């Protein structure tokens, strides 16, 4: 998976917006205003940060060379994923997991708004 495929997958999810809140090279994806993924557009090799359940984060880091503790993020809740080093299907699963973790923390009002989209 490359950065453009990553972007297309993220932006297709319900309630997702993209932007550059930090700088001109860091693309951030938010669901209803809450961040679930980001990527450095000029990073080589291509890498992305995704939210992850802490226990699963450790397991992924121990299993895959392409997954490390989140770079410039909470090491407990975020992983950095090197897109060239893991299967694209696993990347999609990790994007889904990140998105779902964020949505699970929504207030009832925010969840209702998302469902109405």
Would you list the DSSP string of 50-98?
EE--HHHHHHHHHH-TTEEEPTTS-TTTEEEEEGGGS-HHHHHHHHHHH
Query: pLDDT of the chain along its 117 residues, tens only?
Result: 999 999 999 999 999 999 999 999 999 999 999 999 999 999 899 999 999 999 999 999 999 999 999 988 988 999 999 999 999 999 999 999 999 999 999 999 999 999 999
Residue 26 domain boundaries: 3-115
What pTM was computed for the model?
Answer: 0.95
pLDDT of residue 71: 84
Evaluated on CA atoms 49, 50, 54, 60, the torsion sign reads negative
User: Which of the 8 DSSP states describes residue 117?
Assistant: -
CATH number at residue 108: 3.90.1150.30
Rounded (10°) angle between helices 88-104 and 3-11: 40
Element (H, E) at 38: strand 34-40
Cβ neighbours of 57 (radius 10 Å): 24
Number of domains in the chain: 1
Cβ neighbours of 33 (radius 10 Å): 9
Here the tokens at position 35 are 């961040």
Burial class (CB in 10 A: 0-12, 13-18, 19+), 53: middle
């Amino acid at each position: 998976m490359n950065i453009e495929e990553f972007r297309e997958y993220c932006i297709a999810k319900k309630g997702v917006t993209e932007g550059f809140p930090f700088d001109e090279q860091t693309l951030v994806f938010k669901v209803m205003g809450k961040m679930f993924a980001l990527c450095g557009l000029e990073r080589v090799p291509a890498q992305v940060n995704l939210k992850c359940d802490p226990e699963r984060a450790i397991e992924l880091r121990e299993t895959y060379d392409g997954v490390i503790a989140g770079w410039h993020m909470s090491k407990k809740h975020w992983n950095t994923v090197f897109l060239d080093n893991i299967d694209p299907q696993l990347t999609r699963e990790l994007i889904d997991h990140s998105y779902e973790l964020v949505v699970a923390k929504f207030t009832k009002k925010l969840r209702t708004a998302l469902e109405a989209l």
